[in-house]
Structure 1
Amino acid sequence: MDNNGARHLDAIERAMVAIRRSQSRRSLARLADGKGSKGGGGDAAFDVLDAIEAAEQSGTPATVSDIAAALAVDQPRASKLVAGAVDAGLVRREADQADGRRTLLVRTEAGRALTEEVRRFRRSVFAEAMEEWPEADRAAFARLLTNFVDALGRRTR
């Protein structure tokens, strides 16, 4: 790899670290404080809700094992996280009608509402960051970032 390629990779790495830090739950919570976001259920509940929503979008029901894999935590930790979301009224457990040994996780109405509130907030933060960008740049960024994330996902499977 030439010097330009290495510099590009360095810039990408620094940008990804900065994104991770800026999108941490604490950072988003600080931003939300000034914007009226209600939150609820704690930081871990957002992670659980995101994982359940991702499973729903892929057409597969979520289980505690799926949450553990999505969040890269062990089964006992995932069970505790799910229990917290259940206690907060954001998630409910349902028996799997196809396999009585499995318990499925479903977002409650409150969980779906909180997911939507968080999504609106995240989108507003992203829109504000790009508000001065030309539409063509936004479209190119969306395409390239999606391609990048998809490629990373294929490498980690």
Structure 2
Amino acid sequence: MASSAGSPLRNGASAAAIVCGQPRASKLVAGAVSAGLVRREADQADGRRTNLVLTADGRRQLDVVHGFRRERFAAAMEDWTADERKVFADLLARFVTALDR
């Protein structure tokens, strides 16, 4: 919802970011706000818009998820050669790029 890169995500862009409909995204955002993972802030450039910003708790939770994912990937590929990892990384990047089209 809020950008993991640290920059805010417009509230309206949350549905596109998580690939779901706007009503579902609104419920997910409300839950994340209620849980203290993100907070709503007025957009400085356009006061009619709302941005979602990760809280410190949200950042910690995201770090836990990313750490778990890194551990799982490393375990799954521990017997792969460097070349196999490179091919996989290239193909995965290509796949993710294709999803964004």
TM-score band, normalised by shorter chain: 0.7 to 0.9
Which segments of 5 or more consecutive residues in structure 2 lack a partner in the other structure?
none
Supply the distance in 2 between the matched residues of 1:74 and 1:147 (Cα, whole angstroms): 25
Identity, % of aligned positions:
56
- Report the equivalent of 1:142: 89
| Stretches (4+) displaced over 4 A | none
- The one-letter code of the counterpart of 1:134 is T
Within the candidate set 2, 16, 30, 1:83 is matched to: 30
Which segments of 5 or more consecutive residues in structure 1 lack a partner in the other structure?
1-47
| Superposition TM-score, scaled by structure 1 size | 0.59
| Superposition TM-score, scaled by structure 2 size | 0.88
The alpha-carbon distance between structure 1 residues 152 and 74, as it changes in their structure 2 partners (threshold 3 A), is closer
- Report the equivalent of 1:92: 39
Equivalent residues in 2 for 1:118-137, closer than 5 Å: 118-137=65-84
- Report the equivalent of 1:11: none
More strand by share: 2
Bigger RCO (CA 8 Å, 6+ sep): 2
Count of paired positions:
101
Supply the distance in 2 between the matched residues of 1:150 and 1:74 (Cα, whole angstroms): 21
Structure number with larger C-alpha Rg: 1
